[in-house]
Chain A
Amino acid sequence: MKSRYDVIVVGAGPGGSITAKTCAEAGLEVLLIEKRQEIGDPVRCAEGLGKEGLIRHIQPDKRWIAAEVKGSKILAPDGTEIKMSEEASSGKAGYNLDRKVFDRALAQKAAMAGSEVMVKTRATGLLRKNGHISGINAMYMGENHEINADIVIGADGVESKIGRWGGIDTCLKPADINTCTQFLVSNIDAGEYNKFFMGEKYAPGGYLWLFPKGEHMANVGLGIIGSKCGNVRPISLLHKFMDSYMPQGKIIEIVVGGVPVCGPIERTVADNLILVGDAARQSDPLTGGGIINAMDAGKIAGEVCIRAKEEEDYSVKTLREYEDRWRATIGKELSKSLMVKNLLIKITDEQLNQLAHSLSGIDTSKMALPKVLPILFKKNPKLLWELRSLFM
C-alpha cells in the first residue's frame, strides 16, 4: 500500500470493481479496498441478470454461471402464470450467477488492469484537508492507516457510510428498503425459468423468487417492504413457503440482505467523492436488480475520474458529469420502476389476479416488462391510472 493514489474505491462489489478497472486501464493509480476477507462472500443476492447488460462489461464465463434460463414466469396469487422475456434467437434470456466467483473475477479484472487491491481492509472514515475530502482512514488487520487520494469512490453497498461521511444523505427509510431472506434449496425441480410469485400472501410489498441454479437447485427467497416488516419477518415467511410448496427441499445456504428500493436519490457526488451502485441507491425499485446498474454506473464513474485527472479538477464541477450521465440512463429507468412499485404495494391480491387474467390470450412470452406494461394499462386503465404518464 502506498500513502496516496489518484482514486480509492471502497467496496469490491460489481460497482467498485468496474470503477477500479476503468480507472486503472487509463493509467490512474487506483486502490480498491474490501472489508471482507473474501470478496463476494457471503452472498447477498439472488444472482439473476439479463445477458445484454452483462456482456457490456465482461464475457460470460462458465466458472461463474450457475444456470442459464429461458425467461421469466410471473405467478399471480391464484396461480395464473405469465411467461415473459424469452429470447427469440438463443432461447436463453438470462444467467443466474455464482456471485462468489463472479465478484472475485471482476476484482481480478481490476487487479490485472493495474489496481492495487486490499481485502480485510475497512474504510473507517474520510480524511479532510482544507475542508476537502482527501482520502480515507482504513483499518487493516487491526491497524489504522491514512491513505490519500484525489477522489474517493463510495461503492460500499447498502450500508453506504462513505456517502454519509461525505455529507450525502443516503439513509433509507423502512419504505425504502426491501428486506430479504433467501435459501439455496437443493433436492427440488428448479425448472428452466426464473419464477416470481406475486402477492401479499407470499411477500407483502415485494415478491418471492425462485431462480434455478443448476440441476435440482435454486435460490428461493423473498423480500418484503421494510415498512411492512416487524410483526412478520422474511425468514419466517420463507419457511412457511417451503413447508407448503417444497417440503422435500433441503436448505444448503442462508442469505439475508436489504435492497434499496427508493429510486434516485438527490445527490451522488460531492467534491472529491462519487457514490456508485447500491451505495448510490441505484438498484431497481421494482425488481431489486442492481448488479448491472452498479456496473454501468461504475463504468461512468471511472470515465469521469479519468477526465477529472486530465483536468486536475476533482470538484463537483467536473464530477457532475457522472451525475448527469447516470440520471439520463439508469436514473430514468429507476424512476419508472419506482412508479410501478409504488402502485404495486397498494394493490390487493385480488387485483393482481385481475391483472394477470387480463393478459389471457395474449402471448407475452417474447416481451419484457416495458412491453407488457402498456398492454396491462390498456386493459386495466382504472386500476393502473396512476401510471398513465408512462404511456400517454
Chain B
Amino acid sequence: MSVNVNRYKCGYCGACVGVCPAGALELVETWIEVEDTCTRCGVCAKICPVGALAVIK
C-alpha cells in the first residue's frame, strides 16, 4: 500500500476520494481503501481535514 490511513483518526468524510487524481481511493462503510493505481502524489494527505493520511515514502 502506498498511502497509510490512520483509521483511528479518519472521520470517513470522503473528501480524499474526491481529490484523488488516480481514482485510487474508495470510502467503504467507515474506512478508506487504497487501490494500487495510487501514484503517491500526496494530494489526499494534503487536504484531509484531520490529517489521517500519509504517503509512504
Contact = CB atoms under 8 A, between A and B. Distances in A.
A60 interface: no
A159 B18 contact: yes
B15 A233 contact: no
B14 to A, nearest CB: 4
A234 interface: yes
Interface extent on A, as a size class?
A: 20 to 34
A230 B50 contact: no
Given A42-B12, A254-B11, A161 B17 contact: yes
Interface string A246-272: 000000001111101000000000000
A174 B43 CA distance: 7
Interface in A11-62: 35-37, 42, 44
A179 B47 contact: yes
Contacts of B21: 171
Interface extent on B, as a size class?
A: 20 to 34
A122 B49 contact: no
B1 interface: no
B5 interface: no
A171 B17 CA distance: 9
B7 interface: no
A151 interface: no
A257 B27 CA distance: 13
A157 B14 contact: yes
Contacts of A36: 29
A258 B11 contact: no
B14 A159 contact: yes
A181 B48 CA distance: 10
A37 B28 CA distance: 11
A173 interface: yes
13 contacts: A42-B11, A157-B14, A158-B18, A161-B23, A164-B23, A174-B19, A179-B49, A181-B49, A230-B45, A230-B46, A235-B50, A256-B15, A258-B14
B28 to A, nearest CB: 7
A44 B13 contact: yes
Nearest to A157: B14
